[in-house]
Amino acid sequence: MPIIFFGTRGISWTVDSGEFHCPRCSEKVPYKLKSTRPWFTVYFIPLFPVGGSERHVECRECGGAFREDVLDYRAPKDSSQDYAAELYEELEAGKSIETIRRKLERLGMSPTRSEEMIDEMTRGKVWSCPECGFHYLYSVKPCPKCTTSK
C-alpha cells in the first residue's frame, strides 16, 4: 500500500453579490456571498465534496468574512430618505426643478450636488416651459405656473 497524501480543501464559489452594510467598514460596500465546501483531496487534487457547504459573506472592501445574516442589517433610516421622497412627490405634483433645487441648497447642499441629485431623480425626463423658463417633469404639463397666472 503506497502512502497516499490525502486531506481536504475548501473550495468556494460566489453564489450572489450585491451591496451591504459592512460592520467593519461601517458603510455600504459591495459584497460577495460565497459558498464553501470541503473536498476530499488526494495528492492535493480535489476528488469529491465531503460534508455540507457553508456560506459566508465577504466584504470586497476590507476582505472581512461575516455570517450570512449580516445581509439582513438595514442602516438606520434617516430623515434625508424621507425628505428625498417628499421632494420627488413635489416634483410630480408640479413643482419646478428650480424650486426643488432651491430647497436643497437651503438645506446646505452645494449647487452641484443638488443638481446631481435632481438629475438622478428625474433621469433627464424634464422639459422647460417656453413662457416662464422653469423646468418640470414630463408628466407635469402644461406648466402649472403659466396656467395659473393666465
Residues forming contacts to Zn ion in the complex (CB under 5 A) are 22, 24-25, 59, 61-62, 64, 129, 131-132, 143, 145-146
Q: For residue 35, what are the CA distances in angstroms to 22, 29, 42, 74, 129?
A: 18, 19, 22, 23, 55
CB of 29 to Zn ion, least distance (A): 5
CB of 113 to Zn ion, least distance (A): 25
The CA-to-CA distance between both ends of the chain, in Å, stands at: 100
In angstroms, rounded to a whole number, what is the distance separating the alpha carbons of residues 86 and 35? 41
Q: State the minimum distance, in angstroms, from the CB of residue 74 to Zn ion.
A: 17
Q: Which CB, 110 or 139, lies closer to Zn ion?
A: 139
**Based on CB atoms, which residue is closest to Zn ion, 24 or 141?**
24
Positive or negative, the Cα torsion across 28, 70, 52, 9? positive
